[in-house]
Amino acid sequence: MSNRGANAEGTTGFPDDELLHEQEFIDGLYARVDVLRGDTEASVGDALAQGNTPMQARLERDVLVAERSGLLAALNAVDGSLCFGRIDLTSGVSHHIGRIGVRADDTEHTPILIDWRAPVARPFYLATGHTPMDLRRRRHITTDGRRVTDLHDEILDLGDHERTGHEDPTGDAVLLAALN
């Protein structure tokens, strides 16, 4: 585990630009979740405002309200603890991992946050130095509400130039904190 430093280090031991990069990502992620929450609330409100309608339309409305209410509950439940990690693959691709999946508002609906239960997130939990599962780095992101407070990296590629062999001995603290 590594809290690598550079010239301009923050209190975490990471360069300020690393913290800033993750904070900007988290800010954008919450902005997207806030838009999704607003759209979902409006959708539920519109559906509930429908007047006298035929039985089929009421059934469809009730299904929509139930589905949207579930989404709204999920969006509200993650406020303050949305994203907790990032994986960097040896191919150069990176994925942020969180409590729910979030997609961008583009034509492809690009995933910007991977649900921790998704198959692509498995290496975040299962990769080791012995079996890196194509991971170069596993980053744990600690937040306090919507503010990034700490970063912990594990370099899993034994040949990586960033790996010093003297990684942070408090690495188990991330696991223990997650269990509490």
- With a CB cutoff of 8 Å and minimum separation 6, the contacts of 8 are 15, 16, 17
Question: What's residue 177's pLDDT?
Answer: 54
Quote the Cα angle for 59-63-69, to 5°. 140
- Position 1, amino acid: M
Tokens found for residue 111: 């995933």
Contacts of 133 (CB under 8 A, 6+ apart): 122, 123, 126, 127
Closest CA to 138 of 102, 104, 171, 178: 171
Please state, in angstroms and rounded to a whole number, the distance separating the CA atoms of residues 131 and 158. Answer: 11
Question: How many C-alpha atoms does 103 have within 13 Å on its Cβ side?
Answer: 6
> With 50 as the cut, is the pLDDT of residue 81 above it?
yes
Q: What is the mean pLDDT of the chain?
A: 84
Per-residue pLDDT of 11-38, as tens digits, reads: 556 667 889 999 999 999 999 999 999 9
User: What distance in Å separates the CA atoms of residue 77 and residue 82, rounded to the nearest whole number?
Assistant: 9
DSSP E strand stretches across the chain: 83-89, 94-98, 102-103, 111-115, 135-144, 147-155
What's residue 52's pLDDT? 76
CA distance readout (Å), 14 to 1, 44, 45, 169, 170: 12, 43, 45, 16, 15
- pTM as predicted: 0.78
